[in-house]
Amino acid sequence: MLRKLSLPSLFFFSIAIFFLLFIHLHGFISYDDGWFLQGAKRIIDGEIPYRNFEFLYNPGGLYLNVLGFLLFGESILASRIIALINSFIAVGLIYLIGRGIKLQKVLIVILILSYIFWAPGHVNFVWPVVFCLTTALASGFLFLEESKNKNLNNKLIFSTGALSALTFLIKQNFGLAIFLADIVLLILLKKYRNLKSFLNFFLGHAIVIFLQLLYFLKTESLVIYLKQIYYFTYIKIFKEGILNSPLPWEYPGNILFKIAKTGFYALPLIISIYAFLIIFRKKKNDILLFFPLVSIFYYLFSIRPTTDFVHLPPLIAVSLIPLVLISLYEKRRLIKLGSLVLLIGFLTLGFYSTFFQSYYRWHPPLIKNNYFINGPRVNIWTDKSEAESIKQAIKYFGEHAKNEEYTFVYNFSPAYYQILNKKNPTPYDYMHWGVLTNEVEINTVKILKQKRIVHLITDENAYKKQTEIGDFIKKNYKKELIINKITIWKLL
């Protein structure tokens, strides 16, 4: 492919690579990023997901980090390399899709840059959603390739089925979303509306799910997995609503602000529905229906229960191709022009929010994450406060707790297990004080007593909450070191 690229194209891809390198090597999230780092560390240490420790998602994301650790060593950098590779694959797929639907080069450039700023630009670590975006792009590319054949290509249809199952292994709701998008497409298009297509699709899907089932049976974790998924997904998330956030119009502000916020959050869905209707009415290049379909289903299955700006960028990213399709197939000049203006707007806003707005909503902008942490288990740039916390924590534990196998982190900053190379004595990594049951709190305290954990870390002011764990820490430990938002404690 490189031989066919012109000098301007090579220059553009160099710029894209620069952006991706900068994005993936800057910024640090001790909670969400740390959650998947810690899960992978547990697997490397010989533990088995669900059987030895709780986990809310399917295990695919953990094993992506495990792959990074095995290839590049156990560090945050290794995890970011895996995320970077995923972004490279996504960019390559967007380029091939753009060429496949005969987009002008300038539109391909805008599309790729917009995707970079809205997907990895806002979620630059190993997090399930960005890998699900890549599997969606891969599925769309396979459908495009299949549509070039007069006769049905069984291997490509089989592969789309396998990809939908692979997406499910990474994140349940996105796996179901892409599965439904695939099924609706197969039903809508006459070429695929036959038993052979469905058999090939379901065969690809079933083989991957069967392999997952074998893994659960081999590790004796199937029953525990089903119990945990039911408990966290149905009981905690849907029934108790532990992750519920206000709807866009429920946030404080005047009526104009609420209308603007609601409209902006609804844009990916509106764009995708409109693109679907245009392509469906024209009955031309119907295979492109996949892109608005997957965008619609991704939106419907992920906009709730947590509707905030952290969760919106991936939905904007997946709606970019439908937006370009509107500019390509809409005949009315005003709407065509409007779609192009909106695309430029997304590019501009994406660039600004990636580099100059708060990173992951609550942290300094990426452009201010310019403190390099040169440690064997870190090796990325972060902001000044995080850098000080990490460096001093490493120094303290190196001097005072070097030979201790365990530490305990409360509440939800599991990255410190990875950074300090310490084990969590409990099976709980999702230690958010607001969602823990009383049973988990009591069991955690029991384990801390049994294993006599000498040193522990608290993040923010979690220990001040009136909880079993918080009360136990205050009664049995003394503060040794306060570093910005974290406090290191030692057993009395």
For 19-48, the pLDDT digits (tens) are: 999 999 999 999 989 999 999 999 999 999
Q: Are 442 and 468 in contact (CB under 8 A)?
A: yes
CA distances from 146 to 139, 154, 193, 203, 340 (A): 10, 9, 14, 17, 29
Three-state SS for 387-440 is HHHHHHHHHHHHHHCCCCCECEEECCCCHHHHHHCCECCCCCCCCCCCCCCHHH
CA 38 to CA 439: how far, in whole Å? 22
Retrieve residue 441's tokens: 């709190």
Listed residue (114, 122, 111) closest to 347, CA to CA:
114
Listed residue (323, 4, 313, 294) closest to 141, CA to CA:
294
Report pLDDT digits (tens) over 359-416. 988 899 999 999 999 888 999 999 999 999 999 999 999 999 988 999 999 988 999 9
* 1 has a pLDDT exceeding 70: no
Adjacent-strand bridge partners of 135: none
Q: Are 123 and 329 in contact (CB under 8 A)?
A: no
How many of the other CB atoms lie within 10 Å of CB of 304? Answer: 15
CA distances from 424 to 298, 314, 430 (A): 34, 31, 11
Report for 88-97, 404-413, 451-460: range of highest mean pLDDT:
88-97
Q: How many helices and strands in the chain, by DSSP H and E?
A: 19, 6
Retrieve residue 258's tokens: 């609420």
Report pLDDT digits (tens) over 331-352. 899 999 999 999 999 999 999 9
Is the model more confident about 168 or about 412? 168
CA 3 to CA 17: how far, in whole Å? 18
pLDDT at site 118: 96
2-6, 155-159, 175-179, 357-361: lowest mean pLDDT where? 2-6
Q: Give the three-class secondary structure for 382.
A: strand
pLDDT at site 4: 62
Mean pLDDT of the 282-298 span: 90
